[in-house]
Amino acid sequence: MIALDGQNALSPFRLDRLNARLDALHRGACVQASWFVYFIDADAAPEGEARQRLLAVLEAKDAAPASATLWVGPRLGTISPWSSKATDIRHGAGFDVRRVERGIAWQVVGLPEADDPAHAAVLAVLHDAMTQSVLTSLDQAQGLFLAGTPGDLVHVTLGGDARAALAKANAELGLALAEDEIDYLAKCYAELGRDPTDAELFMFAQANSEHCRHKVFNASWTLDGEEQDKSLFAMIKNTHQHSPAHTLSAYHDNAAVIAGSEGQRFFADADGVWRAHQEPIDFAIKVETHNHPTAIAPWPGAATGAGGEIRDEGATGRGAKPKAGLTGFSVSDLRIPGHPQPWEVERPLPPRMASAFEIMRDGPLGAAAFNNEFGRPCLGGYFRSFEMETGETGVRRGYDKPIMLAGGIANIRHEHVQKRMLEPGHAVIVLGGPAMLIGLGGGAASSVAGGASSAELDFASVQRDNAEMERRCQQVIDACWARGEHNPIVSIHDVGAGGLSNAIPELLNDAGVGGDIDLSKVPCD
C-alpha cells in the first residue's frame, strides 16, 4: 500500500464551524489542520513519469505522509463510492493500480482520553460510523484492501417455544414484526418442520413491512364505533375514481402518469446521434416521504429521500426521464441556539433523533446536493415548523419525527407508460452499485416507533447517497427508452428501502411468475 498526502480537506470557514461544534462538546477540543490522504493498492510504487502523473491527478504531495492524531478512511471491508469512480478513471488513464481510496488526516488538540464519554462524541463529529473507520496509524489502512469471505446463513433455532425465539430474533435484528406476524411465522415454520434462516426472516420483514405493503393504509377501520366503508388508501384513491380524466396510470406503479401535449424532445437515438423528436410528451409525477431516515441523520436521510423519488420516476412504466424535483419539511419548533422565541417551550427532546434545527440546517442541503449531483434541478418545496398545546397535561403536538417530502416530475414516452408481462426466459438484471451494510432494514426500521430500537439499528437503517451511481443507472435507462418500440426493458422496479428482498419478488409477483435468483452473484461490499 502507498499513502500520499493531498490538499486541505476543509476550507477555513468549514474548519471554524467544525471547531465550534467540537468546543461545545468538549472545551478545548480543536482541529488544527485536516488534509486528504490517498491510499493506493498496487504491486509497486510508481516511479519517474508515472509517479509525477499520479501526483498531478491526485493533487498529492511528493513527500512522506505527515503525522496526524488520527486518520478517517472508508469503513474497513467496504469499497467507497469515491473509490469506485476514482479507480475507474485511473484505469482508463493507464495507471497500474488495483484500487485507490481516499481518507482524511486530522490533527487534533485537546482530544479527550479514550475512556472519556466525550471521546466518542468528538469522533462522531469527525466521521460517519456507518461508512467510515477511525484509524490511529497509517498501517491500519492496509485493512482497506483486505478481501473478506462471505458469512454463512444463520439458522434461528425455534426449539420448544417458536414464538419466543422469533420474538427474540425480531428484537435483535430490528425486524419490526407485529404480534400477528410473529404468530404467522411460528405457524408457517411449524408446518414446514424446520428452522428459519436469518436471511428468510429479514426478507419477510422487508417485503411485509408497512413501508412496502401499506398494511395500515389498506386495513379496515372503525371510527367512534362505526365501521368505515373505505380504507385510508381507498379514501386517497377516491378522488381519482371520480375525476380520472387525463390520467394514464395511477396507484399501481412507482409513479402516476398524466397525459401531456405534443412537443419536441431532444435526445440521442440508438446510433448515438442527438436529434429532435416530435411526439406526445406524457408526465410521470410522484411525491413520497422519507421521514425516519431524516429524523436519524438529516443530510443522508433527505438526500436518499430525493434519490429514491428520482428512482421511482425513472422506474415508471418501461423507463422514464426525471426532469425536476421538489422537497418539503415539517418539523417541531426550531429552538435555534441563542435565538429563543416566545412561543417555544423547553422540554425533553427524543433521544437519537436530530433536533428540528439540525434537520432544517442539514436536510435541505442534503436533498439539494443529491438533486444537483444527479443533474436534476430541485425547483420548489415548502417548510413548516409547528407545535401546539392540547389542553391535556403534559401533551404537546408537533413534528418531532419530521415529515420529509420528496417529489418530482418526469417525461415518459406514450408507448412506455404500461409495464409488460414477464415471460419465461426473461433475464432479471440488477443495475447499480454493490450491496453494502448501509440502509439495511430501512423498510422495517421505518415501521418502528422512533427511538424504540437500538442506536446502532437506527443509524444502520439510513442509506448513504451516491448520486453519480444513480445517474449512471439513469443513463442506461435513457438509452433503453430512446429505442422506442425496441426498448429492451419489459418491466422495471427501483430498489428502495426493502432492498432486493422486496424489489425482485415484487417485480416477479406483479407479473405472476417466479424466478431463479443466485444471491452469490449480487455484488456485495
Residues 140 and 254 in one domain: no
Cell digits of residue 408: 418530482
The residue range of the domain holding 507 is 246-521
Once rounded to an integer, what is the mean pLDDT over residues 95-100?
91
Do both 354 and 474 map to the same domain? Answer: yes
Give the count of domains, the chain: 2
| 322 within 8 A of 408, measured Cβ to Cβ | yes
Q: Which long-range contacts (CB under 8 A, 24 or more apart) does 257-265 make?
A: 257/282, 257/283, 257/284, 257/285, 257/316, 257/317, 257/412, 257/417, 258/282, 258/283, 258/285, 259/283, 260/411, 265/411
Q: Which of 94, 122, 145 is the last residue of a domain?
A: 145
**Mean predicted confidence (pLDDT) in 502-507:** 88
Please count the other Cβ atoms lying within 10 Å of the Cβ belonging to residue 306.
29
d(CA 193, CA 353): 42
Q: How far apart are CA 452 and CA 205, in angstroms?
A: 17
CB-CB neighbours of 250 under 10 Å: 16
Residue 167, domain member (yes or no):
no
Residues 136 and 258 in one domain: no
Task: Compute the average pLDDT of residues 305-329.
Answer: 97
Q: Cell for 182? A: 410473529
- Shared domain check, 467 and 325: yes
CATH code, domain carrying 473: 3.30.1330.10
155 domain-assigned:
no
Q: Name 134's bridge partners.
A: 72
DSSP secondary structure, 429-462, as one string: ---SS-B-SSSTTHHHHTTSPTTSS-HHHHHHTS
> Whole-number mean pLDDT of the chain?
89
Residues 132 and 256 in one domain: no
Higher per-residue confidence, 259 vs 521: 259
Ramachandran assignment for 102, one of left (phi > 0), alpha (psi -120 to 50 degrees), beta (any other)? beta
User: What's the pLDDT tens digit per position in 199-245?
Assistant: 899 889 888 877 777 888 899 999 999 999 999 999 999 999 999 99
- The 10s digit of each residue's pLDDT in 119-173 is 999 998 999 876 789 999 999 999 999 876 777 889 999 998 999 999 999 988 8
- For residue 329, being part of any structural domain is answered with yes
**Is residue 241 a part of any domain in this protein?**
no
Please tell me whether the overall predicted TM-score, pTM, comes out greater than 0.85 for this model: no
Same domain, 139 and 253: no
255 belongs to a structural domain: yes
For residue 41, is pLDDT > 80? yes
End position of a domain, from candidates 145, 169, 195: 145
List all residues 6 or more positions away from 194 whose beta carbon is below 8 Å from its beta carbon: none
The stretch 90-95 carries a mean pLDDT of 87
C-alpha cell at 497: 428501502
Q: Are residues 423 and 306 in the same domain?
A: yes
Higher pLDDT, residue 499 or 367 = 367
Query: What value does the mean pLDDT take over residues 356-366?
Result: 95
60-64, 213-217, 373-377: which range is least confident on average? 213-217
Residue 253 belongs to a domain: yes
Q: What are the φ and ψ backbone dihedral angles of 79, each rounded to 5 degrees?
A: -115, 120
Which residue, of 145, 178, 201, is where some domain finishes?
A: 145
Q: Is residue 165 part of a domain?
A: no
Q: Is residue 192 part of a domain?
A: no
Average pLDDT of the segment spanning 380-390: 94
pLDDT band per the 50, 70, 90 thresholds, residue 451: very low
* Tens-place pLDDT, residues 408-432: 999 999 999 999 999 999 999 999 8
